[in-house]
Structure 1
Amino acid sequence: MNPVKILIVDDELPARQRMAMLLSDIQDVCPTTVVGDAGSAQAAMVFLETCTPDIILLDVQMPGTTGIELAQQLAATKAGVSPAIIFVSAYDEYAIKAFDVHAMDYLLKPVRAGRLAEAIARIVERQPRHLQAASLVVQVQKKQHFSVLERGRILLVPVVEVLFLKAEQKYVTLHTRQREYLIEDSLTSIEEEFSDLFVRAHRNALIRKSAIKGVERSSHIHDAHGEHEKVTEAWQIIVDGSHERLPVSRRQWPLIKALVR
């Protein structure tokens, strides 16, 4: 089986060497081979005339042509066969521009081995036709953080800190003990990826199983046909670490009840 072909582009030699070392450290879970490295965008373009890697690990800030500009050039000259790009930078303020040029991921220096393996594995998942031609198999590691784009920067919220998630209009609100965040992931995709950690309370909410402190009955009084008041009862989840109560749908009640027991 052929490993993922990687081109490292960074104007600093120590940064290129460290990236190559990280790739070597994750070989067991993420087989890769460094097919080349370049100290500038111009050198990268020369290399790409004779070789097409699967992924480019691309620094954002470089003298002359920047990483963003190089990505734009590749999109214009290599339509349909352009390598996937993972931007690497010491600064988070370029993240929005990076994703505007269709970057697959954005890593902050110093890059951690686990985060690098996760980024490469996601590309393998998302672009199977492009990478299966290389008879590639990568052991996909479940992500450990949710990526939150907030005020021009990317925040990483550990999955283990999330108490529950709620769908509100076109966004999903992620709640921790400290605060809440807006993310663009769908509840369905989160439920599928983390079915071992989260359970659906009702169609608009997921709760971490270990954050279920208990359940309690709630009563709701409403006007029935304008003639008399009607009282209905339902169950709510008591969330450990939050004052908010999550209603439980009738459909999900048997599952929640079993977890509480």
Structure 2
Amino acid sequence: MRVLIVDDEYLARAVLRESLAPHPDVEIVGECANGFEAVKAIAEHDPDLVFLDIQMPKLDGFEVVELAGSKPHYIFATAYDQFALRAFEVHALDYLLKPFSRERLAEALAQARLRMPAVDRAHDSHQAPAIEALVKEAAARHQPLERVLIRDGARVHVVASGSIDYIEAQDDYVQISAEGKRYLKHQRLSELEAQLDAAVFVRIHRSYIVNVGAVRRIEPVSKDNHCAVLDGDVRLPISRSGYQKIRELLG
């Protein structure tokens, strides 16, 4: 079992490395101190299993999964339990709360050994026991997306959610407009909508999500149709249901 360790704290990496040593079937193929290093190392080393910290500089653990893909299995390790729900959503094998015992680590490795033959992880409904035990209490603290990652060839753009003016659906992609720039991201509009703060972003049309703070005014287009006017005279269509939603948010 080829293992990659990702944690921004050297001591945490050292402890995990030492704890994995008694397991003869585990080969540590690399260690990373931040998310960017992790994405690169996953592509280079093709590990079977990644032990992944969540709160790290540059990219957090969930962003690493988004960029690196779901080919390896992931076991999240963190000192905070509020991330359990998101760990479950990205189909993590297990979720270790620091500090964890060697016995608890052995349980996580046992889960990994059982799951290695699995081919289609994305549609596997199995819930790791540690995640299942934490999901309900973590759900109430599930936080909206604070930043959006856009892969552009070898580059990665990190866009703060608050800087986004509007988002437009383009088939299986979304075009994100933020601070005068536009980015194309491979994601469904409905998926991104579910991750954004509903108190800030509203779906005004089947093809558009807008940041309420970016709306300068709402103008009638015809008897039953309206449009949202943003800076630069950008005009976005508003559906009937979208009109009700945005009026509620605007008060």
Q: Same fold (TM over 0.5)?
A: yes
Where does residue 176 of structure 1 map in the other structure? 178
Where does residue 166 of structure 2 map in the other structure? 164
1:206 and 1:253 mapped to 2: Cα distance?
12
Where does residue 211 of structure 2 map in the other structure? 208
Matched residue type, 1:99: A
Where does residue 225 of structure 1 map in the other structure? none
Larger radius of gyration between Structure 1 and Structure 2: 1
1:156 and 1:118 mapped to 2: Cα distance?
23
Q: What does the per-residue CA deviation read over 1:9-55, in whole Å, with 9 as the maximum and x for residues that have no partner?
A: 69xxxx6527x39xxxxxxxxxxxx85138xxxxx8x66536699xx
Displacement of 1:119 in angstroms is: 8.5
Within 5 Å, which residues of 2 pair with 1:174-253?
A: 174-194=176-196, 195-218=198-221, 234-239=225-230, 241-253=231-243
Where does residue 36 of structure 1 map in the other structure? 16
2:165 and 2:52 mapped to 1: Cα distance?
33
Displacement of 1:259 in angstroms is: 3.7
Secondary structure of the 2:227 match is strand
2:70 and 2:241 mapped to 1: Cα distance?
43
2:192 and 2:37 mapped to 1: Cα distance?
33
Identity %: 18
1:49 aligns with 2:24: yes
Secondary structure of the 1:127 match is coil
Query: Could you say if the C-alpha distance between residues 17 and 204 of structure 1 is closer, same or farther in structure 2, counting changes exceeding 3 Å?
Result: same
Higher relative contact order (CA 8 A, sep 6+): 1
Matched residue type, 2:89: E
What are structure 2's unaligned runs of at least 5 residues?
59-63, 96-127
1:8 aligns with 2:5: yes
Displacement of 1:156 in angstroms is: 0.4
Where does residue 108 of structure 2 map in the other structure? none
1:17 aligns with 2:10: yes
1:133 and 1:9 mapped to 2: Cα distance?
22
2:73 and 2:144 mapped to 1: Cα distance?
17
Q: What does the per-residue CA deviation read over 1:155-211, in whole Å, with 9 as the maximum and x for residues that have no partner?
A: 100000001100013210001122111112222122222222211111000001222
What are structure 1's unaligned runs of at least 5 residues?
1-5, 22-33, 39-43, 76-81, 106-112, 220-231
Where does residue 89 of structure 2 map in the other structure? 125
Whether the 8 Å contact between 2:6 and 2:50 is mirrored in structure 1 is no
Displacement of 1:145 in angstroms is: 0.7
Secondary structure of the 1:163 match is strand
**Please, what TM-score do these two structures have when normalized by structure 1?**
0.55
Matched residue type, 2:201: F
**Please, what TM-score do these two structures have when normalized by structure 2?**
0.57
Count of matched residue pairs:
195
Q: Which has the higher helix share?
A: 2
1:48 and 1:207 mapped to 2: Cα distance?
51
Query: Could you say if the C-alpha distance between residues 127 and 169 of structure 1 is closer, same or farther in structure 2, counting changes exceeding 3 Å?
Result: closer
1:89 and 1:193 mapped to 2: Cα distance?
21
